[in-house]
Structure formats: C-alpha cells, structure tokens
C-alpha cells in the first residue's frame, strides 16, 4: 500500500549518518576503504559485528529479494536485522522492478546508509527470475531502478549503488557503468569475472579500465585473501575500495592485517554469536571456515562433527583456553 510510506519517513537521518560514518565521504578520503561483501547466509548482523571489530569499514547485508521483502513482514523480520553499532550499512536487494525496489528502499532507509542493486549474482535461479547478473545486459532497467529509488527516498545522502560482473566485451560494461553514473548511482562494485566464470583468475585489468572511465567511486572485488593483496589490488586498479567475501569468511581479522584467524577473533565470534542468539548451524559453520587454516585434518573431523553449542565451547576451551 503506497500511502503507508511517506517521503518524510526517510528524512530522519540514521544514527549512522549522524556519526559521520558516511560511505561517500570514506570513498573520497584517499584511504583504502575495506568492505565486507554481501554473502547469502553469512554477512548477517553477528558476522558484520565481528568484522567491524577488525578494521572493516563498510558492510553489506546478504542479498534480499525485494519483492518478498515488500510483501511479507515475515520475510522482513527474518532477512533484515540491525542494531546501533551496525554501521555504515548497505542493504543489498535482488530486484527487476523499479517500484518494488523503491518500496523496499523506503522500508530500510531509516536503518541503513543505502541500498545496493545486485547485478552480479550468477546463480541459475536468480538469472531465471530476472535478477542478478542478467541485469548487466539491461542498462535501461538498471537506470530506471536507480532513478525511482532516488525519487522515492527523501534523504539525499542515502546511497544507491550497484554490484556488477563484467562482459566478455568490456565496452558493454563501460557503457552500463556510464549510464548508471549518469542516472545518479553513488558507486559501483565490480567483480572482475564474467557471468560464466567461477574460479578463473579475476580480471583486475578490466576493473582498472572501468575505474578510468568513471568519476564516481569504484570498488574492486574478487579473490582477495589478505590485507597485502587488498592493498595491491587497490593500488594497481586505482579504485577507491576493495570488497572481500571468502577471504573474510576464512579470516574475519584479515583487514586488520592478520595472516590467519587469531584466537582472540574466534573468542570474539563466540561472544557476539551468543549475545545475538545466532542459530547453531550458522555459529558452527563460521567457526569451520575460521579454523580451516589453523587445524589439522584430524581436528577438523572432530570439530566439524560437533552438534551443539556446549560441545563447541568445550572443544574450544580444551584446545585453545579462554
């Protein structure tokens, strides 16, 4: 129901913006902006809280399907949780309809710094629904979505960004980015792979070319596993920030310069997850990722088979002390 949302709903600035943690300002600081990627099931509030303790500057929620989010209170409650310390925050949506996306943006705008449109997810179900990476071939639709969100959200500091993959023919990607920029997109994240590519090397050269053709900030994404690699990619591509997914899952303290997950980070995760009531499966899964590098095969076998929070706490206490 359109009448429920008033333009003025969004003019109240979020706690975040008052503390001057404005992503746009960060991107213009000349410093490397370190970003946690949207990760389905994983980049939820508890994990965002953890990486923020270890020098992550900006976090994204997991991708949320805008249509479900707008239609269902249940979807909103399960998909989007935040708190005062969770900022700056970008909510990422999968959408292919400008008015549904702008309704979704209006719902989250009091609680976030901006929204991001997923134009990069290569999964079959997303492409079949007209979401994700298929949008890189629909620049007019992307423009329409950006425009409508801009028109519907009253707060001019609310960002509207896109996350894309590249085309085989890079001139098409540059064209898409220029069109998005002309429509008022705040920044663009580029995953340097095509829709078909999965584990092939990332085309950082392509990200560099896109950045050279833009005047808005560009974030580089793809296969960054350490702070040193992040700094190299940032320098070599001339971008404004780097976004990391799997590298942070394996080592949430990566942006603070740790080569592997420090024990303190593991215990911080335990504290945060218990405090926020993280479901056991998610709590355990994150620990499996974090401990991958620091445990033997035998230890993994034992740890991965644990089936309760108390068993995990006992294991950690026995092996690592508090």
User: Which residue ranges are tagged as binding site?
Assistant: 38-40, 92, 191, 245-246
Query: Catalytic: 121?
Result: yes
Catalytic residue among 56, 121, 134, 177: 121
Give the whole-angstrom CA distance, residue 170 versus residue 193.
11
The answer to whether the CB of 80 falls within 8 A of the CB of 45 is no
- Residue numbering of the annotated binding site for FMN: 38-40, 92, 191, 245-246
The answer to whether the CB of 250 falls within 8 A of the CB of 266 is no
Give the whole-angstrom CA distance, residue 313 versus residue 269.
12
How many Cβ atoms are within 10 Å of 103's Cβ, its own excluded? Answer: 23
Of 105, 117, 111, give the one whose Cα is nearest residue 63.
Answer: 117
Taking the mean position of all CA atoms in its chain, how far away is CA 165?
14
Contacts of 239 (CB under 8 A, 6+ apart): 207, 208, 211, 217, 218, 219, 220, 233
Q: What are the catalytic residues?
A: 121
């Amino acid at each position: 129901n359109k009448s429920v949302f008033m333009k003025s709903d969004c003019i109240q600035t979020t706690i975040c913006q008052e503390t001057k943690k404005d992503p746009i300002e960060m991107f213009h600081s000349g410093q490397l902006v370190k970003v946690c990627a949207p990760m389905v099931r994983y980049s939820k509030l508890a994990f965002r809280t953890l990486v923020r303790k270890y020098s992550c500057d900006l976090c994204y929620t997991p991708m949320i399907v805008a249509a479900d989010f707008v239609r269902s209170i249940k979807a909103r409650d399960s998909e989007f949780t935040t708190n005062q310390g969770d900022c700056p925050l970008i909510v990422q949506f999968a959408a292919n309809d400008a008015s549904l996306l702008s309704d979704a943006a209006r719902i989250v705008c009091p609680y976030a710094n901006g929204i991001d449109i997923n134009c990069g997810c290569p999964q079959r179900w997303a492409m079949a629904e007209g979401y994700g990476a298929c949008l890189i071939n629909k620049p007019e639709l992307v423009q329409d979505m950006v425009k409508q969100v801009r028109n519907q959200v009253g707060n001019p500091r609310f960002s509207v960004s896109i996350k894309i993959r590249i085309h085989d023919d890079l001139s098409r990607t540059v064209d898409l980015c220029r069109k998005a920029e002309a429509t008022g997109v705040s920044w663009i994240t580029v995953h340097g792979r095509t829709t078909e590519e999965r584990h092939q090397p990332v085309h950082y050269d392509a990200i560099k070319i896109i950045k050279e053709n833009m005047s808005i900030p560009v974030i580089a994404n793809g296969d960054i596993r350490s702070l040193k690699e992040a700094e190299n990619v940032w320098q070599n591509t001339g971008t404004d920030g780097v976004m990391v997914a799997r590298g942070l899952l394996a080592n949430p303290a990566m942006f603070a310069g740790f080569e592997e997950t420090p024990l303190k980070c593991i215990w911080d995760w335990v504290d945060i997850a218990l405090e926020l009531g993280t479901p056991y499966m998610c709590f355990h899964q994150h620990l499996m990722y974090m401990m991958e590098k620091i445990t033997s095969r035998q230890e993994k076998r034992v740890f991965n088979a644990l089936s309760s929070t108390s068993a995990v706490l006992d294991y950690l206490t026995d092996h690592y002390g508090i």
